[in-house]
Every structure is written in structure tokens, then in C-alpha cells.
A and B are shown apart, each in its own frame.
Chain A
């Protein structure tokens, strides 16, 4: 049995082969179990990560509309172009065509791409218009991709610039109403899980992660046409007298709605680069002025409410000057004896001081603060100023005197027009609003009869011989008061002025109230009656016409045209 048995050798070979095969099979089973059971979760996740994608469902920011539904701010889709530098550089011969469309030198583009060759994402140009995007897409250059973004446009431009504010590059409100109502306007982007194929096309929706909440529209009380007309008149008014700036606010007396609010100078909110600063402020709400004579009707209201005056009461303003605590108070000339109505019509400081000094300080403070001076108007506008009305306990005699003709307190133009509207509406004060459909609670601040008396005296203040003559509107009875104040500077009061006019129309049944404030007129004229009143007249004329308010002064109209009704 020395020679190996061929049968046994064959058997060994068979067993060896079988053993190897079995081992391999076993290994494969182990591996399969390992993959299928132990690592299944990890592998499944990795697999899905290669074709399952969570994508955002984009939403659009809501539009801002005027009271008639005309768009004031619209978000419109634009496209941004980006590139994968590695892929794009493969097709380097196509670069010049792309550069031409992007209006950049080809070598600069190439340099930019080579510098960033290791990255996967480079913006080529953001926010181009869709036509240009289509042209670029038509080139079909590999490695060039598009991203849908939104851009905000303001069709009314500078006319509504400070009120609406603007948004940043990510469409988030930065200023004005865009900021105040950002969460209302801004939608909430949703998310969904989808399956994408190799080319990035969505093949199947798998699940909705979060539903998108689109941005809501915001309808304002502003009237686009009136806004434009007010802006035009203000601009003319400011430029005519060489003033530095100005504001106009028009208020609906019966609802408190702000129909127009304009500031000049303004800026173009559509420009890609905005000049930062001065012109961006909504001066009508953020800037305070010493109101000057415009405050007089309210001081008279306080005196009459205290029973210390009545419209026909005579006040002797001779000799046109008066000394209070060593300080001289002057009228522009000696008016002699005047009725209370005359004091308002001629805007006599001396007459006002006499009225007010007979009054309890607390009472004057009470009337001013009931009319809303010293408190914000509650519109929620960012950066609104409350103005300053100091506590009566800290008033000295001189202060009480100057408060009667509008020095020693500061107010915003909006506060002025709100108080004027309260006088016009039988003593009912309303919270001004920007948003259509807001419920503005009414606060009764003055006795209706008293308000009507003031109303009548204010109408007299625009008649011939008074300071506010140039505020008249043909065919309408107008009430209002002029104001001229010297500006306070580093070294006390300077010879720079603020001219203002606040009033309402039609006086028989007031519907609209408006205020005009013009800063720093330099052209010789600086009295409110000469600078602000004409602007008021033109704005009010436009506002009455646009609101279809019938004339209440037909007789004058007929007399003027020589016709009988």
C-alpha cells in the first residue's frame, strides 16, 4: 500500500473543492446577512441620500397695494446665474459668449473661475431679468445653472419710498411698512422630499414635509394718485422757496385713514445701490418740529373749555409786545384790540399769551395731551417719534406763555394733522392708520360745540385779511392755521425757519385734513402763510377732487363766473 490509491486521491480532491466552495458560499452568506440585516439601515440611508432630496417649496412675498388695489410693491421672479467652475472650465471655448451676455470681460471671468476652481458653486450674476436668463440658457453651456429668486419692485418709486421702506437681498423688510408688517407679507417656505434622477429632474414626490404658507397682500389706506399729486406739489413748493425738505400728510377726518404721506427730498427704492441717510427718513413721522402758531387753535380750545374765553371776547394786544419773566413776546405789528377769533386769524402771540397765562397749567397740558401731543400715534411705524410735551409741574411762567404759540413743545406733522382732524370732526380723536379696514377707536377729546366754534374760527383764519388766505381752495370752504417757527440750533434760535400749515376742508362738513411742513425756506419768504399755505391749497384741491367731495362754497363759484344757480 505504498503507492497512493488513485481512488482516495480523487476523494480528497472532491472534498477539497467542496470545502473551498462551501467556505466561499458561507462567506457570501455571512456578507449577505451583514449587508442585509446589520448594515441595512446605514446603507439604505446612504442610497436614499443619493436620489432622495429635500427641496424647498418657494413662496412669494405678498404685494403691497393702495386703497384701490393698485400695486405699490410687487415681488417679481428674477433669475440668478451660478456656475460649477470645474465643469464650466472644461468648456472654456464657450466662455466668451457667456461673458458677452453677462457684460463682463472674458478674461476677468476666466480668472475668477480659475481662482475658485476647487469650489463647486460661484455666483456669476444675481438677479438678472428673465429675458437675459433665457438667452444664457439657450447657450446651453455645461456647468452653468440658474436659481430662481425674487426681487421687489416699487412702481411708485420715490413717491412712496419712505412709507413703504424696502427689503434686503433676501426679501426681508428693512425699513418702513415693509419692516413693520414683515411677518404678514413674508410667506413661510415649505419643504418636500422628492426623488431626483441623475440629471436632477424630479421624478417623484415622496412626502410633504411642511406646507408652504404664501405671503399675504397688504392693502394700505394710501391713494396712489393723491400720493403722487401731493408729492408733486410738495416738490414744487420746496424747490420754489429753496427749502431743504418738507412733508405733507392727508388724513380722512371721518376714519383716521392716512390717504397720503409724502416727504421731499426722496430716494429711488428701485435703485440697486441706495444712498443711505437723510432722505430715507419718513419725516412726517420721525422728525419733530416746534409747531409754532399752528398750535394756537388748541390753546384757544383749552381757554374756552376752561370758560376763560369765547369767540367774540375782546383782547387788547396793544402795543404789540408784552414782557413775561424778563422776556419780550412780539407780534409782527400792533394789532390793537382783537376778538379771540381775530387773535387766531391774525396769529397774535400777545393775545394768546394773555389767554393762556390766565389758565391753570395743568389744564393746558391736559388739553394738549388729550389731543395726542407727546404720545405716539399708534400706527406701529418703525421709528415713529412721540414728540415732547413736558410735564406741567415743571413749567415756568415763561414756558406756559411760549406753549400758547407753539414753542417749548415738539410734535410730528402726523400728530398735528391728527389733532386738526379731531377739531374738524366735532372733537373726536382717531388713531391714524395705514392699513385699510383697521378699526380706529374714537376718543372724544373736546365738547362738540366747542370743536365747532374752533372750526368756525379756523375757517375765518383763511379768509381775506388773515394769515392763511393763500390756503383757500376755489369752491370749498377751508379751515386751518398757519405756523412759522425759528429753528433751534447749537447757539439758540437761528434765522432758519419751519413753515407749516394744518387745516381741513370742506369746512361745512369736514372730510379731509392735511398738514404741510416745509423746512428751511431760503428764498426770502418764510411765513407759513406764504410758503406752506399755497401747497396746502393745491394738495387739498387735488384731494377733494379725487375723493369726489362736492363743493360747499357754490355761491362764491357762481359769483366768480357770473352765473346764477
Chain B
């Protein structure tokens, strides 16, 4: 009788662990898929980031800023009178 009981217990745990493996395997595949997708997203983001960085560098290029300021906004360097100096 005890033998049968032992057998049943072992059988059930065997089945359970088999099911567990199936479930975990599936889960790990899904997670791996997510990881791949995340890595792809990261790549896209880093591409975008370096492009934005270049674009920003181009837009903020000193020569361009100066041209824009002088020609489009009609700005000019303040004369000596316009400079306030704090004396201590």
C-alpha cells in the first residue's frame, strides 16, 4: 500500500515538474522575445539620440547662431556703455 502511495506521489510530482518546465520554457521564450524587442528599441533610440545630437550641434553651431542673431534678429554686440560691471 505504501508503495502505491509513494508511486502516486512521485508520479504526480513528475507530472507537476514537467508542466513547470513547459510553463517556464514558454515564459523564458516570451521574456527573450521581449529582451530582443527592448534591445531593438534601444538601438533605435540610440540612433535617434546621436542624430538629434548632431542636429543640435548643427543648429547651435556658433557661426549659425551669430548669423541668425545678426541678420534675422538684428541683434548687435552692446557698446561699451551697455556693459555693467559690478565692482567689489
Contacts and interface: CB of A to CB of B under 8 A. Distances in A.
A542 to B, nearest CB: 10
B32 A76 contact: no
Interface in A513-565: 550-551, 554, 557, 560-561, 563, 565
Contact of A551 (B61, B63, B81, B85): B85
Given A74-B57, A561-B80, A228 B50 contact: no
Interface in B11-67: 32, 36, 43, 46-47, 50-51, 53-54, 57-58, 60-63
A76 B47 contact: yes
A202 to B, nearest CB: 7
Interface in A97-130: 130
Nearest to A205: B32
Given A70-B57, A76-B51, A550 B85 contact: yes
A225 interface: yes
A554 B53 contact: no
B81 A74 contact: no
B61 A155 contact: yes
B21 to A, nearest CB: 15
Interface of A is mostly: mixed
A75 B85 contact: no
Interface in A138-157: 148, 153, 155-156
A71 interface: yes
B62 A228 contact: yes
A314 interface: no
Contacts of B43: 77, 148
Contacts of A130: 47, 51
A77 B62 contact: no
A155 B85 contact: no
Contact of B53 (A71, A224, A474): A71
Contact of A71 (B57, B83, B86): B57
Contacts of B83: 475, 551
Contacts of B32: 203-205
A70 B81 contact: no
Residue from A74, A155, A156 having most chain B Cβ neighbours under 10 A: A155
Contacts of A155: 54, 57-58, 61
A370 interface: no
A225 B85 contact: no
Contact of B80 (A203, A224, A475, A565): A475
A491 B81 CA distance: 54
Contacts of B80: 474-475, 557, 560-561
A77 B85 contact: no
A70 B60 contact: yes
Contact of B61 (A156, A475, A550): A156
A188 B54 CA distance: 24
Contacts of B63: 228, 232
A83 to B, nearest CB: 23
Chain A interface size range: 20 to 34
A561 B53 contact: no
B63 to A, nearest CB: 6
Question: Max chain A CB contacts within 10 Å: which of B46, B83, B87?
Answer: B83
A53 B36 CA distance: 16
A77 B42 CA distance: 13
A155 B55 CA distance: 9
Nearest to B55: A155
Contacts of A95: none
B85 A224 contact: no
Interface string A77-95: 1000000000000000000
Contacts of A63: 53
B50 A77 contact: yes
A561 B84 CA distance: 13
A77 B47 contact: yes
Interface string A174-207: 0000000000000000000000000000111100
B50 to A, nearest CB: 4
A389 interface: no
B37 to A, nearest CB: 12
Contacts of A71: 53-54, 57
A329 interface: no
Contact of A153 (B54, B61, B87): B54
A239 interface: no
B50 A76 contact: yes
B81 A561 contact: yes
Contacts of B36: 202
Contacts of A70: 57, 60
A148 B86 CA distance: 55
Nearest to B79: A561
A565 B43 CA distance: 59
Contact of B50 (A74, A204, A229, A551): A74
Interface in A280-339: none
A204 B53 CA distance: 34
B75 to A, nearest CB: 15
A74 B62 contact: no
A205 B32 CA distance: 8
28 contacts: A60-B46, A63-B53, A71-B53, A71-B57, A74-B53, A74-B54, A74-B57, A75-B50, A76-B47, A76-B53, A76-B54, A77-B46, A148-B43, A155-B54, A155-B57, A155-B61, A202-B36, A204-B32, A205-B32, A228-B63, A229-B62, A232-B63, A474-B80, A550-B86, A551-B85, A554-B85, A563-B81, A565-B87
Q: What are the 10 closest A-B residue pairs judged by CB atoms, nearest first? A: A155-B57, A228-B62, A76-B50, A77-B47, A225-B62, A561-B81, A71-B57, A557-B80, A71-B53, A153-B54
Interface of A: 60, 63, 70-71, 74-77, 130, 148, 153, 155-156, 202-205, 224-225, 228-229, 232, 474-475, 550-551, 554, 557, 560-561, 563, 565
Given A74-B53, A204-B32, A551-B85, 8 more contacts: A130-B47, A153-B54, A155-B58, A203-B32, A475-B83, A554-B87, A557-B80, A561-B80
